[in-house]
Chain A
Amino acid sequence: MSLGPLMDNARAGLTAARFGMELVGRNIANASTPGYSRQEVQFESVSSGGVRTWSVRSMVDNFVQTRIAQESQNQGRLDVERRLLSEVSPVLGTTETGLDAALTQFFGALSALTAAPDGTEERAQFMFRAENLVTEFNTEASNLDGLARQIDGEMGVTVTQVNKIAADIANLNGVISRAAGNDGASNQIIDQRTDLVNQLATLVDARSFSDGQGNVNVFVAGGMPLVEGINSYQLALSGSSGYSSHPGVAVIGPSGEQLDITQRVGNGALAGMIRIRDDVIGGALADIERIAATLTLNFNRVHAQGYGLDGSTGNAFFSALSASTVNAAENIGQPSVGAVVSDLAAVTLDDYEVVFTSPSQFDLLNATQGTTVSSGTAYTSGMTLAVDGLTLTLSNGASAPQAGDRVRVATVAGHGRNLDMVLTNQDKVAAATSLSTVTTASAGAQGTIAATVTDGTAVTFDSYDVTFNGSGQYSVRNVTTGATLLSNVPYVSGASFTVDGIQVTLANGAGSPAAGEVYTFAGEALPSANGNALALSALETEKLMDGGTLTLAEKFARSASQVGVEQQSVDQAVDAQALVMQALDLRRAAVSGVSLDEEAANLIKFQNTYQATARLIRVADEMLQTIINMV
């Protein structure tokens, strides 16, 4: 037996021990690296009696890794939902502020006005509260809209991140399949890829599958490929869908076609953003728009019936409702539908939808009630159509309508943000339900005069007089303008005439009116009449919302608390999710984590092996020397 193999085996032992120590070094260095899996060297003995490094094993529990990737989706979604919701609720105010508080103050000032309808202070205060209310509507609506736009932006950033990570995963797939064997370096790259897959899962509902050839394939939105081997596809923000003014998410296919997946993204941050934007913020905004529109419709109706301090009537208080139309993003043809409010009394605040069943026929649906207003109506460009106080004009827009084209008609959309006060003169706030008249007769007049208002909208507030001539005739003159309205009308006691909405009755008093007698009359506002103010004030407690079940303020409180319910449940889910992640991290660490004690023990073990093997070489060397010295 020669000493050669002994030296060889000893050398192999030295290499193995040194390699073992190198791994210990690598593990210790990465003890706090996230996603790093502890590596373990596996030796095997060779037939010559030596040792060789058989493989470097990454200590990974694949079951736990899969669970982490899945739970990362929830984690990503919940984190985003919690952050976004915490931005939504401050917009809706505290228990002491918000739209309902502004409404309460507005109606409070109105109630004060009913107690003092001619009070300058009370009117000024009411106008101030009304402006506040309008501002509150505008601010809340535009803040919610701003938040939704901000989420649009965040979705863009997230999509970019998804694309970057998908490309990185595809790239690592290539590196890993090219790497020859299971050395430590490719284990670290696999760890890196696993970490990327987890990161991707926090952003979108990414599910990954190993293809058995070292590649990891990633699918999103329930089956759309994102990474296939060394290829990756891209996500993009697509144009809006339906009547939404916000972008959706699409996958860009191999030939550049976009496939909308907005409704199919089931998890991850992206799904959270879409849900908060469309359901929570969209819902709260729609509620505010509807409250604003309901207030406007009812308040203006009642207000227009009353009379201001200056006697004016028929005035709107808030900016008028306007109808708007939106073509669905998917429309093939481009029909143009115009809508105007033609009869305010009949307006319902429902949303309507014109659906073309063919290029020549359409159905009209009430989208709010879910009913069909008319179906199979023949279409000709330029036709008009009346529905619940709205007049719709249907025509060919950029192109003629095609089957399946849809157009929505709404009176509520945008009303919260655009709400305004059109009444700016506080004297025009219509507290009174009627006008009065004032009459006089010249000294010693024999007849009597009585006047009543028969048409308040025609009253001018000019003063008029009636003069008698010697032949039992009278003439009526507008003193303010100097115009003669009636001349030389034969007098009959008890008969009446009407000018500018005022009916005047002349009759015999002590005697019949004589030549030269002058009677005057004029329309007059009633400063302390408050009937209309009471009717307006009653709107505060009237259940105008949700099919007659909630007042305006209650509806807002309900809407704000729904966001709160949402936020509470997400908060709880985030806490529960953190526990799940924590437990999974612990389980992962139990297998993959680096234990310093263990590494120290390994270090000593390898050091001892190294020292022993070195000793072996020295002994072999000494033996060789002995033999050499024998010569």
Chain B
Amino acid sequence: MAIRIPEFALSESVLFNMASGQRQVATLSTQVASGKRVQSPADDAVAFAKAKNLRGVLAATNQYQENIGHVEDRLGVAETSLGGMQDILTRAKELGLAMANATVSESQRTLMATEAQHLIDELVNLGNTQLNGRYIFSGARSGTPAFGATGSYRGDASVQRVEVGEGILVDANVTGDQVLAGAGGGVDAFALLTQLRDGLGANDQAAIAATLDPLDSAYDQVTRARMTAGLQLSKLDMRRANLEEVAFQTERLLSGQEDVDMASAVSQLVTQQNNLEVSRSVLGRLLAEPTLFSYLR
């Protein structure tokens, strides 16, 4: 005997298949609308975990870039100030050279003592350069001006290290004691300028001449600090470029994990919709199909 297929069972089975088709249409249209293939762990658990980790990498990369911005601001300002310091020391050297000359009169020398004092004040001002209310040459004591009025260093020797990559730390500041106060075997620029000023005031030609060579060393000292800062800045530029590349690649990987392949999703969607359309017309016919009862008179 042939297998009996009652009418209701037939339409039930078409309906069952339509329901699974409708679910797929729903899933696909959500994917197409959101552009995301994976949003909840159920969509694709492996891709979900990878996407989460990649997002973590992306967030860290962005943070490193922000940190680089911070350090660049600080080093940029420091570099400008160091440039100013170079100018002051150059001017001091010129002043010393001119005034060490025997042809200069006493009154000219004593007059120039004021200029020397002015240079000291200016150097103190530059040493106390602030950025966002922080004294950038004070080391960790950023709340305290780096130099007193006479050029005594009030900061400390700490160099702040900032994370600009996983495990990559860069120096974010230049301490005033290295640059101007002669720490680490350098020259104390303030002591030299004071010597120059006092020499001028006292019309002491020898004392003035004695500052000339050390002033060169002081200049070199500032120049070294400026070069170090500049070098650091260009390293940060490279670091930033590197991070941008990492961010770009991570975005690409992330997109591969969680974004929907539009072309394939849309074509699947259209196919499914067509299938549903066909099923509907089949079901319509099935339900409208006459039974033997229709022929009984």
Q: Is B250 at the interface (CB under 8 A from chain A)?
A: no
Binds A, one of B136-144, B221-229, B238-246: B136-144
Residues of A within 8 A of B292 (CB): 596-597, 600-601
Q: Is B277 at the interface (CB under 8 A from chain A)?
A: no
A window 552-586: CB within 8 A of B = 553-554, 556-558, 560-565, 567-568, 571, 575, 578, 582, 585-586
Are the CB atoms of A98 and B169 closer together than 8 Å? no
- Cα separation A457 to B36 with both chains bound (whole Å): 53
Binds B, one of A110-118, A413-421, A618-626: A110-118
Residues of B within 8 A of A442 (CB): none
Q: Which of A86, A115, A436, A604 contacts B141 (CB 8 A)?
A: A436
Are the CB atoms of B41 and A541 closer together than 8 Å? no
B window 56-78: CB within 8 A of A = 56, 59-60, 62-64, 66-67, 70-71
Q: Is A79 at the interface (CB under 8 A from chain B)?
A: no
Are the CB atoms of A100 and B56 closer together than 8 Å? yes
Are the CB atoms of A111 and B140 closer together than 8 Å? no
Are the CB atoms of B59 and A105 closer together than 8 Å? yes
Closest 6 pairs between A and B when the two form their complex, measured CB to CB: A564-B41, A564-B45, A600-B292, A593-B6, A589-B9, A561-B49
Q: Is A108 at the interface (CB under 8 A from chain B)?
A: yes
Given contacts A31-B8, A562-B45, A593-B4, contact A537 B70 (CB under 8 A): no
Q: In terms of DSSP, what is the predominant structure of the interface of chain B?
A: mixed
Are the CB atoms of B48 and A101 closer together than 8 Å? no
How large, as a class, is the contact surface on chain B? 35 or more
Are the CB atoms of A589 and B8 closer together than 8 Å? yes
Report the minimal beta-carbon distance from A521 to chain B, rounded to whole angstroms.
14
Q: Which of A527, A541, A553 contacts B140 (CB 8 A)?
A: A527
- Cα separation A562 to B46 with both chains bound (whole Å): 9
Given contacts A108-B60, A557-B49, contact A528 B142 (CB under 8 A): yes
Are the CB atoms of B49 and A526 closer together than 8 Å? no
- Cα separation A334 to B247 with both chains bound (whole Å): 59
Given contacts A111-B67, A528-B160, A557-B52, contact A589 B169 (CB under 8 A): no
Are the CB atoms of A553 and B42 closer together than 8 Å? no
Given contacts A112-B63, A526-B141, A582-B13, contact A85 B163 (CB under 8 A): no
Residue of A nearest to B43 (CB): A564
Q: Is A530 at the interface (CB under 8 A from chain B)?
A: yes
Are the CB atoms of A527 and B143 closer together than 8 Å? yes
B window 138-173: CB within 8 A of A = 138-144, 156, 158, 160-163, 166-167, 169, 172-173
How large, as a class, is the contact surface on chain A? 35 or more
Residue of B nearest to A103 (CB): B56
- Cα separation A593 to B8 with both chains bound (whole Å): 8
Q: Which of A104, A105, A596 contacts B7 (CB 8 A)?
A: A596
Report the minimal beta-carbon distance from B10 to chain A, rounded to whole angstroms.
9
Report the minimal beta-carbon distance from B260 to chain A, rounded to whole angstroms.
13
Are the CB atoms of B161 and A534 closer together than 8 Å? yes
Are the CB atoms of B41 and A92 closer together than 8 Å? yes
Q: How many contacting A-B pairs (Cβ < 8 A)?
A: 191
Q: Which of B13, B36, B40 contacts A564 (CB 8 A)?
A: B40
Residue of A nearest to B19 (CB): A578
Are the CB atoms of A561 and B16 closer together than 8 Å? no
Residues of B within 8 A of A407 (CB): none
Are the CB atoms of B172 and A115 closer together than 8 Å? yes
- Cα separation A557 to B36 with both chains bound (whole Å): 18
Are the CB atoms of A568 and B42 closer together than 8 Å? yes
Residue of B nearest to A603 (CB): B296
- Cα separation A111 to B243 with both chains bound (whole Å): 16
Residues of B within 8 A of A560 (CB): 41, 48-49, 52
Residues of A within 8 A of B4 (CB): 589-591, 593, 595, 598
Q: Is A594 at the interface (CB under 8 A from chain B)?
A: yes
- Cα separation A554 to B86 with both chains bound (whole Å): 51
Q: Which of A553, A554, A575, A601 contacts B20 (CB 8 A)?
A: A575
- List the interface of chain A (C-beta within 8 A of B): 31-32, 85-86, 89-90, 92, 94-96, 98, 100-101, 104-105, 107-108, 111-112, 114-119, 432, 436, 438, 524, 526-530, 534, 537, 540-541, 553-554, 556-558, 560-565, 567-568, 571, 575, 578, 582, 585-586, 589-591, 593-598, 600-601, 603-604
Report the minimal beta-carbon distance from B140 to chain A, rounded to whole angstroms.
4
- List the interface of chain B (C-beta within 8 A of A): 3-9, 12-13, 16, 20, 36, 38-46, 48-49, 51-53, 55-56, 59-60, 62-64, 66-67, 70-71, 132, 134, 138-144, 156, 158, 160-163, 166-167, 169, 172-173, 258, 291-293, 296
Q: Can you sample 29 A-B contacts with CB below 8 Å?
A: A31-B6, A31-B7, A89-B41, A95-B52, A95-B258, A100-B52, A111-B64, A115-B70, A115-B162, A436-B156, A528-B138, A537-B163, A553-B52, A553-B56, A554-B56, A558-B49, A560-B41, A563-B41, A563-B45, A564-B45, A589-B4, A589-B6, A589-B9, A589-B12, A591-B4, A595-B5, A596-B6, A596-B293, A600-B291
Q: Which of A32, A116, A561, A589 contacts B5 (CB 8 A)?
A: A589
Residues of A within 8 A of B158 (CB): 526, 528-529
Are the CB atoms of A118 and B134 closer together than 8 Å? yes
Residues of B within 8 A of A104 (CB): 55-56, 59-60
- Cα separation A507 to B40 with both chains bound (whole Å): 70
Are the CB atoms of B60 and A557 closer together than 8 Å? no
Are the CB atoms of A118 and B143 closer together than 8 Å? yes
Residue from the set A92, A111, A554 with the largest chain B CB neighbour count within 10 Å? A111
Q: Which of B16, B56, B162, B293 contacts A582 (CB 8 A)?
A: B16
Q: Which of B9, B56, B62, B141 contacts A527 (CB 8 A)?
A: B141
Are the CB atoms of B63 and A118 closer together than 8 Å? no
Are the CB atoms of A108 and B59 closer together than 8 Å? yes
Are the CB atoms of B55 and A101 closer together than 8 Å? yes
Are the CB atoms of B63 and A561 closer together than 8 Å? no
Report the minimal beta-carbon distance from A98 to chain B, rounded to whole angstroms.
7
Are the CB atoms of A95 and B48 closer together than 8 Å? yes
- Cα separation A600 to B172 with both chains bound (whole Å): 94
Residues of B within 8 A of A590 (CB): 3-6, 9
- Cα separation A312 to B145 with both chains bound (whole Å): 23
Are the CB atoms of B166 and A526 closer together than 8 Å? no
Q: Which of B8, B41, B49, B134 contacts A528 (CB 8 A)?
A: B134
Are the CB atoms of B140 and A432 closer together than 8 Å? yes
- Cα separation A119 to B160 with both chains bound (whole Å): 14
Are the CB atoms of A594 and B13 closer together than 8 Å? no
- Cα separation A209 to B20 with both chains bound (whole Å): 35
- Cα separation A456 to B60 with both chains bound (whole Å): 33
Given contacts A118-B142, A534-B169, A604-B296, contact A571 B42 (CB under 8 A): yes
Are the CB atoms of A597 and B291 closer together than 8 Å? yes
Are the CB atoms of A564 and B42 closer together than 8 Å? yes
Are the CB atoms of A578 and B16 closer together than 8 Å? yes
Residue from the set B38, B53, B71 with the largest chain A CB neighbour count within 10 Å? B53
- Cα separation A69 to B185 with both chains bound (whole Å): 92
- Cα separation A529 to B296 with both chains bound (whole Å): 99
Are the CB atoms of A561 and B48 closer together than 8 Å? yes
